[in-house]
Amino acid sequence: RDGGQLLRHGAYLYMVGGCENFLAGTRVPMPTAERFDGSSWSNVGNITERFQLEAVSSGTYIFTLGGVAFGGTDPAVNTAEMYTAQTGTQAWDGKAGLPLDLSYSSAAHVQGHIFAFGGYDDADDKQDSILDYSISANSWTVCSTSLPRPVVGTSAVPWYDSSADRTYILVFGNHVAEGDPALDPQKGEPLFFDPQTAAVRVGTSLDDGDARNSSAVNLDGRVLLVCRNGDVWEYYPALDY
């Protein structure tokens, strides 16, 4: 299964979307969403067919954002759907679409808002945008602040700064040109995004670290970054902000 999203929601793990035979060129869509309870997987309903999507838990709901549709030229889409785990109906409800078609983005939830960072649009152009979704209003806005450069394949994770009593979103893996170190000298630099002010600050770059298409998890203020080349980085944002 390629191009799906694995996330934690409550006491369960969920896998949503994706496809089979991604590299073989005969992609078979997997529109299902499955839940893992620690011993077995079970189906929890279907989503709109797409891969390279983003999925975020708000604590109450699961949201799927964008992705690549199947068929034709495999364009990016702006589809957004919400799953209410408490209902037991296995239903995914369509929500307000993203302001632009987007795939390979990253997103995180903070205080009733979902923020999405970068990604490819439907023309395969990299984006530097930050999108803000209000869950209560079911509406999207484009933040006035942009990322320092267009990025794809990032990972985003919330981080609470106790000294300032404020939650930031850390974005890792900001790359410009795939496989070209000359054009991509700071692949591992983290970005600090402040949801309250929409300000972006650049952190310290990982030494010779390739954090593209990585996965980040926050463990009580200590962020572990698992990279596609097998490297695992340990990062303390409190020492870098």
DSSP 58-70: -SSEEEEE--B-S
CB 30 within 8 Å of CB 9: no
Summarize the confidence of residues 216-221 as an average pLDDT.
89
34 and 89: one domain? yes
Are residues 157 and 128 both part of a single domain?
Answer: no
pLDDT at position 87 is 44
- Positive or negative torsion for Cα 144, 61, 170, 121: negative
The percentage of residues in the chain with a pLDDT greater than 90, rounded to a whole number, is: 34
* pLDDT 10s digits, 148-158: 888 888 899 99
pLDDT score of 91 more than 80: no
Average pLDDT over residues 155-172: 93
Indicate if the alpha-carbon torsion angle 117, 210, 9, 28 is positive or negative: positive
Give bridge partners of residue 183 from the DSSP assignment.
none
Q: Are 73 and 84 in contact (CB under 8 A)?
A: no
| pLDDT recorded at residue 216 | 87
Among candidate residues 117, 152, 187, the one where a domain is terminated: 152
Q: Which of these three, 152, 186, 204, is where a domain ends?
A: 152
The residue range of the domain holding 134 is 1-152
- The whole-angstrom separation of Cα 174 and Cα 106 is 11
Are 111 and 17 in the same domain? yes
- Least Cα distance to 204 among 153, 241, 167, 150 occurs for 241
DSSP per-residue codes, 101-113? --BS-EEEEETTE
**pLDDT tens figures, 183-215:** 555 456 789 999 999 999 988 877 666 677 778
Q: pLDDT tens digit string along 20-75?
A: 876 666 778 888 889 999 999 998 888 888 888 999 999 888 898 988 887 656 67
The whole-number pLDDT of residue 199 equals 95
Give the residue with greater pLDDT, 160 vs 205: 160
Is the pLDDT reported for residue 76 higher than 60?
A: yes
